[in-house]
Amino acid sequence: MGARPLFSYLGIPMETSSEFKLKTRDVRKTYGSVVALEGTSIEMAEGEFLTLLGPSGSGKTTLLMAIAGLNDPDSGEIWIDGKLVTYTPSHQRGLGMVFQNYALFPHLSVYENIAFPLRMRKEGEAIIREKVQRVLQTVELPGVENRLPSELSGGQQQRIALARCFVYEPSIILMDEPLGALDKKLRDALQREIKHLHEDMGITVLYVTHDQEEAMVMSDRICLMNEGSIQQIGSPQDLYFCPESIFAADFLGESNLLKATVTQIDVETAVLSCTDGRLIKGIASSPLKKDQNVRYMIRPENVSACKSPDESENNASGTLKEVIMIGQITKYFIELSDGTEMVATELTDSSSVATNIGSSISFTWSSLDTRVFPDTG
């Protein structure tokens, strides 16, 4: 581990960083030869809901634990409320944490579970009673204060864990996969509840998940991570509609990613030659060169089946291999002439363009919905 700055031992800020609620600068963490976190920098505003999203091993929990003070980074800085806290003990950071396993005391009543952090801070009994009752109203569980955690459902226990965190008004709430152990229906309901609590209370939340849908539903911004590094930070709309890399395009949502070669560049618009000889247009995610190998992405919902290709739009034709109706959405799988597959989705309609497996079918989509990336594979 690198040398700790003297000022971080004393709790004295080396410089001000008060314009952000939370800021990390080049935070790095290794375990032997394994780099768990590579020079990571994020900034959070007061009242923001930022989600660290990525696959297992991407570094998201390592970053959360470093911010929580539960593991020391090798190098870099962590600032909270304008103070440098990189090596400040966890209990002095003013943070709240909610985990997947709830971490409730099984032998204590709901009331005492919620009151615990207030008692640790030596609050008066009248204040404790008032705050516990108020937070139980906030999480919509009034009247359960005398029950034990084992007498509550999983969703109710998670709400009590949230209440225990909210009750002492921490500077920032850190949540590490808090809904991961719940079934989908309950998880979906609690996603909305946490989102509404965040909006109503104006709390600052740093949230960790590997579930892309959960991140899209709840976040003001998403920090997409992979192999210890940040791939992209932006709003859910930014990451979904304007991914900056093949990884971002492939990880978040469903996408068609097809190979092509650049034939012409006009500012951000690229003309591509596809493997079956078609020419299409797309928006370059980064500077490209003529004859460069690329991949172009189209979201399935932006692809429309048609009776014949529209010459003014990007298009493809092939053989319809499979049709899957998923309730209100129907998926079309088409095999192009070069053997690659393209998927289109549309609202289920009894008058669909084509439903006969093995029939010829054409698709069309806008160049504005086509993102082009350098092919690094």
In the numeric block, which tokens belong to residue 18? 């008060």
Angle, alpha carbons 90-65-227 (nearest 5°): 160
Secondary structure class of 294 (helix, strand, coil): strand
Q: What is the pLDDT of residue 159?
A: 86
Higher pLDDT, 111 or 317: 111
Tell me if 54 sits within 8 A of 244, measured CB to CB.
no
Could you tell me if 26 and 40 are in contact, meaning their C-beta atoms sit under 8 angstroms apart? yes
More confident residue, 11 or 315: 315
Q: Which residue has the higher pLDDT, 126 or 307?
A: 126
Q: Give the 3-state secondary structure of residue 27.
A: strand
The pLDDT value recorded for residue 350 is 66
Given a cut of 60, whether residue 11 has pLDDT beyond it is no
Measured CA to CA, the distance from residue 66 to residue 22 in angstroms comes to 12
Question: In sequence order, which residues have a C-beta less than 8 Å from that of residue 103 and are 6 or more positions away?
Answer: 161
Residue 84 clears pLDDT 70, i.e. is over it: yes
Q: Place 224 in a pLDDT band, splitting at 50, 70 and 90.
A: very high
Residues found in the chain: 377
pLDDT at position 1, please?
41
Q: What is the mean pLDDT of residues 196-219?
A: 90
The rounded mean pLDDT for the chain is 87
Q: 327 or 70: which carries more pLDDT confidence?
A: 70
Are 334 and 318 in contact, with CB atoms under 8 Å apart?
yes
**Per-residue pLDDT tens digits for 19-74:** 899 999 999 999 999 999 999 999 999 999 999 999 999 999 999 999 999 999 99
The three state secondary structure string of 150-192 is HHCCHHHHHHHHHHHHHCCCCCEEEEECCCCCCCHHHHHHHHH
CB proximity list for 73: less than 8 A, separation 6 or greater: 1, 27, 28, 29, 37, 66, 86
Confidence (pLDDT) at 16: 44
Tokens 């949502």 belong to 253
Distances (CA, A) of 99 to 58, 103, 104, 223, 281: 18, 7, 10, 19, 46
Contact 98/182 with Cβ under 8 angstroms?
A: no
pLDDT at 4 over 50: no
Contacts of 284 (CB under 8 A, 6+ apart): 265, 268, 269, 270, 372
Rounded (to 5) percent helix, strand, coil in the chain? 25, 35, 40
Q: Is residue 13 predicted with pLDDT exceeding 80?
A: no
- pLDDT tens digits for range 162-179: 889 888 888 899 999 888
Q: Domains of the chain (ranges plus CATH)?
A: 6-246 (3.40.50.300), 254-374 (2.40.50.100)
CA–CA separation, 197 and 192 (whole Å): 9
